[in-house]
Amino acid sequence: MRKFLLLAVSCFLFSVLTKAQTQEVTGKIVDSTGMPLSGASLRVKGIKAGASAGPDGSFRIRLPLGSTVIVSAIGYATQEIKAVSGAPLTITLLNNSRIMNEVVVTAIGIRREKRELGTATQTINADQLSKSGTGNPLSELNGKASGLTVVNSSGDPGSGTYIRLRGVTSITGNNQPLMVVDGVPIDNSINNYDPTSTGNLASGANGNLLGGAQPTNRGVDLNPDDIESVTLLKGPAATALYGIQAASGALIITTKKGGVGQGPVLTFNSSFSVDKVSKLPQRQSLYSQGNNGLYVGPAGDPKTNKFTWGALIDTLYRDGIADAYDPNGQIVGASDPTRKMKAVVYDPYKFFEKGLIYNNNIALSGGNGKSAYRMSLGNLHQTGIVPLTKYDKTTFNINGQSALSDRLSVSGGINFIRGASDKAQQGSNTSGIMLGLLRTPTTFDNSNGLKDPAKNAGSYLLPDGTNSQRDYRGGAGYDNPFWTINRDPFHEDLLRAFGYGQASYRLYDWMTLAFKVGGDVYSQNDKNSYDIGSNVSPAGAVHLSNYYNQQYNSDFTINMKKTFSDDLSGSLLLGQNYFTSNVHTKLAHGSGLVLPDFLDMANATSYTNQEFDSRRRTSAFYGEGHLAWRDMLFLTVTGRRETSSTLPAKNNSFFYPATSLSYEFYKTGGANSNTVLSYGKLRASFAQVGKDAPTQGLNTYYVSAVVNDGFTPGIQFPINGNSGYQLGSAVAVIGNANLKAEKTNSFEFGTDLGFWKNRVTLNATLYYSKSSDVILTVPVAYTSGFAAQLLNAAVITNKGLELTLNTTPVNSRDWRWDVNFNWARNINLVKSLATGVDKLLIAGFANGEVDAVAGQPFGVIFGSAYVRSNPADPNSPLLINDTKKDPGYGMPIVSSQNTPLAKIDPDWTGSVINNLRYKSFSLGVQLDIRHGGHLWNGTRGAMSYFGTSQETANRGQAVTFKGVAGHVDDAGNIAHFDPSGAEVLKPGGPNTVATKYNEYYWQNIGSSFIGPAETAVEGSGFVRIRQASLGYQLPAAVLKNMHLKSLSLTLFANNPALWTKYKGVDPETSLAGPANGQGLDYFNNPGTKSYGIRLGLSL
Amino acid sequence: MKVNHTYEQPLLWLLILTLAGATSCKKSFYTDVNVNSNAPTPASIVPKVLLSSVEGGIAYTQGGDISRFASINLQQVKGVSRQAQGYYQYTYTSQDFDNAWGNLYADVLENNMLLLQMADAKGYHAYAGIARILQAYTLQIVVDTWGSVPYTNALQGVANLKPAFDNDRVLYDTIGRLLDKGIADLNDPDPGLLKPTDDDVLYGGKAAKWIKFAHAIKGRLFLHQSKGNAAMAASALTEFALSFTSNDDNAQYVFGNTETSGNPWYQFNEQRGDISFSSGNVATIMIGLKDPRLPILIDTTTASKNDGLLYYGVINAPVEFISYDELLFATAEAVLRNGGSIAAAQVFYQQAIHENMSKLGVKDAGITTYIAANGTLPVNANDAIVQIASQEYLALYLNPEAWTVWRRTNSPALTPTTGSNIPRRLLYPQTEYSYNKANVPTSVTLSSPRIFWDN
């Protein structure tokens, strides 16, 4: 590799250094606004001579007098001028407005016209990026490109956003795209510790994060107001230069910069919006707390007062004597002489508040003839729909660039981010907000009738002064949500800085050297406490987590370009990359608190601590050759040789190539052409990309011993002063010293077409990729002494089609209407996992898992189903229990075998983005569609078990279940009883037994809590209005009088309308947060819809 | 074109050379960063840290999953909601046993095997002896719960990921050999350079006590096989005679006072509360017998969240492996199975009740009254064994050995909560069916095959 590099450089050196007898011409190349066009190139027609403009746009070229110079720059119309010597020339290039000439930033900061690319990319610009006022750059991308999946985990302030390009390629590793800001990769980790988790899978991309508070992925820290554009590099061919980190695609984010030669511009953007709960599960309002049709109150038997299977509320009264549980007193029956008033149904959803979001940004930018700068300050302040939750983010960005000479230019930028959030407990967590709220019976008022229950301890404390919790079970079971927000707080603090510095030197007109270093450093500090009496930690606990992450990146590049003839030109990029990351995590746990309402480490009586260090280092040589023939055929070849610290020395270097071809088969001469087809391009690419292993995967390590089970947190050493260590354990993974890099091969074909003067453009991309040797932790039999082994094993394929159709049906002086469509379908298949392993848990519960199953798409809901009359045919009639003595007589039967039930990912997704402008008014509406795909709605399953869900209101109603009579005999065979009562080994006739929807049915047969997971599988498709906005831009004439550059006012709405059959919260939800285990809903906190107003001002 | 090469070319070459230099970094540039600096190196592991985790692991698993399954099957307690309610009606699936199996094999047996190998290699005879006895004890729990299980080829990590299953009867011999060798190790005049002290939560490193414990386990093995086999009973008596002489000798693990070191029953009741002790069969029987242990063991007066588990449910409650009172009951039974007199057996029987009660803190007067009412054995040996077992059902509250006693004696008479059979074994875990398919026996139900001594 070294030799090759030297040779290539020298070849270029000697071949171009030919000198001609000529005269010198100097000048400057600028755009229509007078901004210098650094890097614009000049080429003398007919001979091999050329030059390029320096950072300040200036050039110097020797050429025979009278010859023609062709001046070109990326994104600008090429010009030909006659060269004359004398005074310096100023050449103005005009912006090329044709859609197909859009310039995109591809890998390693290469700027290239889109038409030259052989791969699919899509760019989302600033005006599309701060529409929602949420300050979340990732959720802003939702629906704006094809092949892009974005899932906001919940509406909690500061919660995470899962993002994915195309399909899953890794089973247990990261599937989110690399985020690159101004050429430097930044961290998008999930740092989370779930104290309610009983396993050791408490954090990471594949974490089984089922409880705790909603985790955040750090990609949401960026301020969307600072972003100029986001380019999505979707496939391996587009990202091949970035290597392993971008194996799942890349988001190339370019921040806003100041303009060289522009006077100072002060910009102020401010928005205010109000959040509301978007959607909540429906509850029944007919029956009271209790069991078997009898009322049992908070002071009653805790074995039965957990249920809402009590009496008809209509028959109940209150005695009017205020007590600890209700200001209207205890519930009594109609015949009770102490009865006063009728019992009423309480609405637990009054718990939610209006959330408020204030988003303010101020920026100053400008420059002189050689330099430019921009600085900005942004603040997001948000209060959540869950009382007492909030998120506060302040960002400061400063960047600048300067041409120090006509050869040397430097640039740099830095971002500071401070974030602080108070989050709510969620999910499978007895202190979770929704768990307590949705199990609360109809006849219990969590707020105790108080006006401001979130701030009044009377809602969640018993009045006896013992600091005991007031909840519907008399202290047992689940926390009163008002207790949770006051006594089980989760606070997160973040301090982060990332930025870059770059120097580039134009050694020759045809060669530029550049060196760029960047870093991203942050410290995240979380504090998660549970007061004494919380159901998660009855003795009280304080958990402190500190995540100190650092990553540094450097790229040294040599850019060379050469014109071989009028027809053929080319460029060569050679580069070296070095990347290192260092993650240090400290966890401190204190338990057994002494004083109530004092959530401090010093208040604990026992402590455990953990430290985790993870370091990773990679370096790579890479190169890209680009050839352009007759300005219509473009060939790009790249290669990267990477060395990673996570692989064994013998396998730690690997090479992967990529190539792509773009052919513009049809270009019309100009805007006046009258043909229907105005542009046509075909593109094709092939790429291979590698991916390294998780850190520290080569060895098996002794760890501090933990012993637990599925029900309890267990014991952790040291205990009583004795340290304990274990090599084997029920979670121990055997290291593998023979790991090698994962490989993905991909093919992509596409076309870009323009019609009617490019008023309509269509981009279509077909792709296929196959990932093999995918590294995963393969479970092994515990009898080996271990739980799993790290192996290169799985094979995953993705194929798909992506369509983007941009149209401008109306374009006149006053009116413009753009309608853009995105559509994508990805078909994923986990071809194989590992020998003898047909399924692998990704996240979830024993009877509601999200798994990788061989032969199925990644992300399958796996659990128990009803027994069918023909077990081989899932569409055969249900078997209806004909065993008379069973309580489930006449009801379907639950299989004891778990099976794959449904896939999570949708069949296709689409969006329709409308932008209508009339004079100074603009109207934008974005419609998003997700078709197919499923969620596991464990929330409804549990609500039905406890008797609070809407569907259990049918208790007592008669029903004859459809199916055939039968049962499963002791040997597991399907059988039925014939009229004589004899057992016959086949299903019987159609079921005729009339039964009732009752408590037994809803607890054991009809819901998923202990019944079949099948009943919790629901379609997660939807149609929604993602965003709507109405804006007004002050006309230029008015602005002039006000000494303003621009002033706009926008009314906007996020998620104002949602159509879905999903019965839970907003179907865009994820219990496990922004991790691989999508598709689970178990008491997830709800999503939001919001309405707001935005003011934009610049002067 | 004219370019000033005076400084630019050297600069270029310098950069290219620097770049080239960067590639020739040593291997350690990469490999050194990939080590887990938060884990001790294998060379720094000493026996005491393994012994601590192994003892804790056995205690937590026995007192947790195994105790719950056994006491629910045996109706000593009642599962009243969620999974425990299902277990109480024998709706088990293979998956329910993954935790217990994983803890026993991977947390306990594997690390204890490593301890054993290290102790043998370095001549730490005291540790080697203890490790063998603990291995024997754990394996006995596994065999008594699941019958034929992997051992000979198990615990070898990547060398054998699909271990074959050994016959349960043969495994009893394996356990016996482990115990004999363990006793020999402890009798070695040279305990080795490193000796257990406080890291040994069971006995503080006292070899004599460990030897008694080893004999207690051996006695259990013989007694389990003594039905209709007087020789086995005689062997059991020989072992018991070499074993515990008071409650001070009890093999038990005492848990800590903190949330992360608390007793498994305490943790379960705190987190789940799905099991009722006050409505379990032991509470019912004790109420009927006016048993003075009842208010010590179970609070039946309030419907508290933890539903009343007292003595064994506090945070630092012990998990008893084998106690003196169990051995006395066992001796009484062995005496009868060996053809001994009722009177001879009754002495041990009464002493067993006495020691159990005094262990729990019952006052002497209460003990005397209780023994007066319940301390007389019937004249027929079989009836006497039934009565001994019925008292063991109470004395071995929450101890999985109680399930073994019941399976051997069918005493006390219990009515299945559903169907017609009380479980006589547990199912193999799902993980064995998934990842060791070729070896794991099929057609296993909760009723069959029975453990070899269950006939």
Tell me which residue in A643, A724, A781 faces B162 most closely, judged by beta carbons.
A781
Residues in chain A: 1099
Which of A41, A642, A782, A1007 best tests the B interface by mutation, with the highest count of B CBs <10 A? Answer: A782
How far apart are the CA of B173 and the nearest CA of chain A, in angstroms? 20
Write out the E strands in B279-399: 318-322
Helix (H, G, I), strand (E, B) or coil at B38: coil
- Would you call A87 exposed, middle or buried from its count of C-beta atoms within 10 A (0-12, 13-18, 19+)? exposed
Angle made by CA atoms A435, A190, A243, in degrees to the nearest 5: 145
What does the block give as tokens for A977?
């009883």
Residue A9, pLDDT score:
45
Report how far residue A519's alpha carbon sits from residue A523's, in angstroms, rounded to the nearest whole number. 14
Residue B11, pLDDT score:
62
Report how far residue A529's alpha carbon sits from residue A537's, in angstroms, rounded to the nearest whole number. 9
Residue type at A742 in one-letter notation:
E
A599 closest CA partner among A474, A752, A737, A489:
A489
Each residue's pLDDT tens digit, A386-422: 999 999 999 999 999 999 988 899 999 999 999 999 9
Each residue's pLDDT tens digit, A1013-1064: 999 999 999 999 999 999 999 988 888 888 888 899 999 999 999 999 999 9
How large a percentage of chain A has pLDDT more than 90? 61
Each residue's pLDDT tens digit, A305-316: 999 999 999 999
- Worst-scoring range by mean pLDDT, A721-730, B203-212, B297-306? B297-306
Each residue's pLDDT tens digit, A875-890: 999 999 999 988 899 9
Residue A514, pLDDT score:
94
Residue A7 predicted with pLDDT over 50:
no
| Contact between B49 and A713 using a beta-carbon 8 Å cutoff | no
Find the residue in A nearest to B279 (Cα): A303
For A857, left (φ over 0), alpha (ψ -120 to 50), or beta? beta
How far apart are the CA of B328 and the nearest CA of chain A, in angstroms? 32
The residues in A 311-350 lying below 8 A from B, measured between CB atoms, are none
What does the block give as tokens for A766?
């077909």
Read off the pLDDT of each residue in A988-1010 and give the average, rounded to a whole number: 93
Residue A87, pLDDT score:
72
- Worst-scoring range by mean pLDDT, A5-9, B58-62, B64-68, B234-238? A5-9
Each residue's pLDDT tens digit, B208-242: 999 999 999 999 999 999 999 999 999 999 999 99
Taking a C-beta distance cutoff of 8 angstroms, is the pair A390, A362 a contact? Answer: no
Residue B304, pLDDT score:
55
Find the residue in B nearest to A845 (Cα): B95
The string of DSSP codes covering A576-639 is EEEEEEEEEEEEEEEE--SSTT---GGG-SEEEEEEEEEEEEEEEEEEEEEEEETTTEEEEEEE
Residue A101, pLDDT score:
63
> How many CB atoms within 10 Å of residue B2?
8
Most confident of A124-138, A586-600, B206-220: B206-220
Report how far residue A335's alpha carbon sits from residue A959's, in angstroms, rounded to the nearest whole number. 32
Report how far residue B339's alpha carbon sits from residue A952's, in angstroms, rounded to the nearest whole number. 63
| Contact between B264 and A712 using a beta-carbon 8 Å cutoff | yes
Sheet holding A1080-1081, edge to edge: A1017-1019, A934-937, A1080-1081
Taking a C-beta distance cutoff of 8 angstroms, is the pair A193, A203 a contact? Answer: yes
Residue B274, pLDDT score:
87
How far apart are the CA of A2 and the nearest CA of chain B, in angstroms? 6
Find the residue in A nearest to B101 (Cα): A782
| Contact between A715 and B255 using a beta-carbon 8 Å cutoff | yes
Mean pLDDT (chain B, rounded): 92
pLDDT level of residue A251 (50, 70, 90 thresholds):
very high
How far apart are the CA of B157 and the nearest CA of chain A, in angstroms? 5
Residues 6+ apart with CB under 8 A from B416: B90, B422
Rg (CA), chain B: 27
Residue A14, pLDDT score:
41
Report how far residue A565's alpha carbon sits from residue B170's, in angstroms, rounded to the nearest whole number. 86
Residue A327, pLDDT score:
93
| Contact between A606 and B258 using a beta-carbon 8 Å cutoff | yes
Read off the pLDDT of each residue in B137-159 and give the average, rounded to a whole number: 97
Q: Which residue has the tokens 């379908």?
A: A825
- Respond yes or no on whether the N-terminal peptide bond of residue B449 is cis (omega within 30° of 0): yes
Residue B165 DSSP class: P
Report how far residue A324's alpha carbon sits from residue A298's, in angstroms, rounded to the nearest whole number. 10
Residue A576, pLDDT score:
93
> How many CB atoms within 10 Å of residue A94?
11
Which chain A residues touch B198 with a CB distance below 8 Å? 721-722
Report how far residue B147's alpha carbon sits from residue B150's, in angstroms, rounded to the nearest whole number. 10
Residues 6+ apart with CB under 8 A from A517: A500, A501, A502, A552, A553, A554
Find the residue in A nearest to B34 (Cα): A696
Any bridge partners for residue A655, and if so which? Answer: A641
Tell me which residue in A301, A722, A783 faces B150 most closely, judged by beta carbons.
A783
Residue type at B99 in one-letter notation:
N
Cβ contacts from A onto B, under 8 A: 297
The residues in A 611-630 lying below 8 A from B, measured between CB atoms, are 611-613, 615-617, 619, 621
Its pTM stands at 0.87
Taking a C-beta distance cutoff of 8 angstroms, is the pair A265, A1045 a contact? Answer: yes
Taking a C-beta distance cutoff of 8 angstroms, is the pair B200, B224 a contact? Answer: no
- Would you call A190 exposed, middle or buried from its count of C-beta atoms within 10 A (0-12, 13-18, 19+)? buried
pLDDT level of residue A53 (50, 70, 90 thresholds):
confident
Residue B32, pLDDT score:
83
Residue B45 predicted with pLDDT over 60:
yes
Report how far residue B430's alpha carbon sits from residue B428's, in angstroms, rounded to the nearest whole number. 7
Which chain B residues touch A541 with a CB distance below 8 Å? 259
Sheet holding A839-845, edge to edge: A839-845, A848-853, A860-866, A894-903
Mean pLDDT (chain A, rounded): 88
**ipTM of the complex, rounded to two decimals:** 0.94
Tell me whether A539 touches chain B (CB under 8 Å).
yes
Residue A5 predicted with pLDDT over 50:
no
Each residue's pLDDT tens digit, A197-225: 644 333 333 445 677 888 888 999 999 99
| Torsion of the alpha carbons at A1032, A1038, A1043 and A1047, rounded to the nearest 10 | 0
Which chain A residues touch B30 with a CB distance below 8 Å? 617, 643-645, 649, 652
| Contact between A785 and B109 using a beta-carbon 8 Å cutoff | yes
How far apart are the CA of B155 and the nearest CA of chain A, in angstroms? 4
Find the residue in A nearest to B272 (Cα): A711
Residue B74 DSSP class: T
The string of DSSP codes covering A80-122 is EEE---SSPEEEEEPB---GGG-EEE-GGG-EEEGGG-SS-EE
Q: Which residue has the tokens 């023979």?
A: A738
The residues in A 36-65 lying below 8 A from B, measured between CB atoms, are 49, 51, 60-62
Find the residue in B nearest to A696 (Cα): B34
Tell me whether A721 touches chain B (CB under 8 Å).
yes
Each residue's pLDDT tens digit, A457-516: 999 999 998 999 999 998 888 999 999 999 999 999 999 999 999 999 998 889 999 999
Sign of CA pseudo-dihedral B46, B50, B55, B56: positive
| Main-chain dihedrals φ then ψ at residue A950, nearest 5 degrees | -55, -40
Find the residue in A nearest to B114 (Cα): A727
pLDDT level of residue A17 (50, 70, 90 thresholds):
very low
Residue B2 predicted with pLDDT over 50:
no
The residues in A 573-592 lying below 8 A from B, measured between CB atoms, are 576, 578, 580, 589, 591-592
Helix (H, G, I), strand (E, B) or coil at A999: helix
| Contact between B271 and A696 using a beta-carbon 8 Å cutoff | no
Which chain B residues touch A720 with a CB distance below 8 Å? 201, 256, 261
Taking a C-beta distance cutoff of 8 angstroms, is the pair A377, A359 a contact? Answer: no
**Greater confidence, A424 or A192?**
A424
Tell me whether A556 touches chain B (CB under 8 Å).
yes
Residues 6+ apart with CB under 8 A from B381: B336, B337, B342
Report how far residue A555's alpha carbon sits from residue A517's, in angstroms, rounded to the nearest whole number. 7
The string of DSSP codes covering A661-681 is EEEEEEE-SSTT---SEEEEE
CA A846 to mean position of chain CA atoms = 26
Report how far residue A540's alpha carbon sits from residue A373's, in angstroms, rounded to the nearest whole number. 52
| Contact between B64 and A644 using a beta-carbon 8 Å cutoff | no
Tell me whether A307 touches chain B (CB under 8 Å).
no
End-to-end CA distance of chain B: 103
Tell me which residue in A611, A716, A779 faces B435 most closely, judged by beta carbons.
A779
Which chain A residues touch B48 with a CB distance below 8 Å? 722-723
Residue A12, pLDDT score:
41
Tell me whether A730 touches chain B (CB under 8 Å).
yes
Tell me whether A1057 touches chain B (CB under 8 Å).
no
Report how far residue B357's alpha carbon sits from residue B362's, in angstroms, rounded to the nearest whole number. 5
pLDDT level of residue B16 (50, 70, 90 thresholds):
low
B117 closest CA partner among B94, B135, B96:
B135
| Torsion of the alpha carbons at A364, A366, A372 and A375, rounded to the nearest 10 | 0
Residue A325, pLDDT score:
94
Residue A887, pLDDT score:
87
Tell me which residue in B1, B39, B271 faces A701 most closely, judged by beta carbons.
B39
